[in-house]
Amino acid sequence: MTSSATTMPNISSLDIDFDDHVLSDALVAGMAELLETIAGPEDACAYVSSIAARLGADIEKQYKAALNVQHLNRNQLVAVLIDLKNRAGGGFSLTEQDEDRLVFGNRACPLGKAASNHPSLCMLTSNIFGRMTANAVGYAAVDLERTIARGDSDCRVVVHLRRTALEPDTREYFRDDASAASA
């Protein structure tokens, strides 16, 4: 019996759309979908905010240590917020500012395709921007006026530095005790 030996192609060279980014996108999108479906949009936002609070506190500590400061000033805060989002794959920039607010624009979501149709994931931005700003200046309110996750072509994130009339979806943040003690 003769059998013709079939040469198997190099498996790692096959054109398969799967890598660490595809895995991460699928995992994040799947978890957001499940959470939004089971818990509902509001509770999904609360859960993501809780995760973001822990992540943001760690990131804030790292930046403060690297800058050798106990308290971020306004210029450092703006630079840190832009840097951390862009390190994560975003396309953030400061588009406007005055004494009462900072306005950030973004053309690329750090969560990529995973965020599409999952606005609860925007709580990562709201919470991290809000808490870090509140820790720096004492208070913040964050309006996610436009988001890629809701289908907009870009994001517009307004961070209010003083109390203002709140829109229904505005989230308020206050300085946490640990930051107040070191300020």
CATH number at residue 173: 3.30.1380.20
**Among residues 145, 151, 150, which one has the least CA distance to residue 129?**
145
Residue 3 domain flag: no
Count of domains for the chain: 1
Supply the pTM of this predicted model. Answer: 0.85
Dist CA 174 CA 118 (whole Å): 26
Which two structure tokens, joined as six digits, stand for 174?
Answer: 């206050």
Residue 6 domain flag: no
The helix (run of H) or strand (run of E) holding residue 157 is: strand 155-160
Report pLDDT for 154: 96
Residue 152 domain flag: yes
Residue 75 domain flag: yes
Residue 2 domain flag: no
Residue 183 pLDDT level (bands cut at 50, 70, 90): very low
Average pLDDT over residues 38-66: 94
The residue range of the domain holding 175 is 20-182
Long-range contacts of 94-98 (CB under 8 A, 24+ apart): 95/156
Report pLDDT for 21: 80
Residue 8 domain flag: no
Residue 92 pLDDT level (bands cut at 50, 70, 90): very high
Dihedral pair phi/psi, residue 136, rounded to 5° = -85, -40
Query: Does the pLDDT of residue 178 top 60, yes or no?
Result: no
Q: Evaluate whether 157 touches 85 at the Cβ level (below 8 Å).
A: no
pLDDT tens digit sequence for 107-121 = 999 998 888 899 999
Residue 4 domain flag: no
pLDDT > 70: percent of the chain: 93
Report pLDDT for 5: 62
Residue 164 pLDDT level (bands cut at 50, 70, 90): confident
Residue 50 domain flag: yes
Q: Evaluate whether 151 touches 115 at the Cβ level (below 8 Å).
A: no
Report pLDDT for 3: 52
Judging by beta carbons within 10 Å of its beta carbon (0-12, 13-18, 19+), is residue 176 exposed, middle or buried? middle
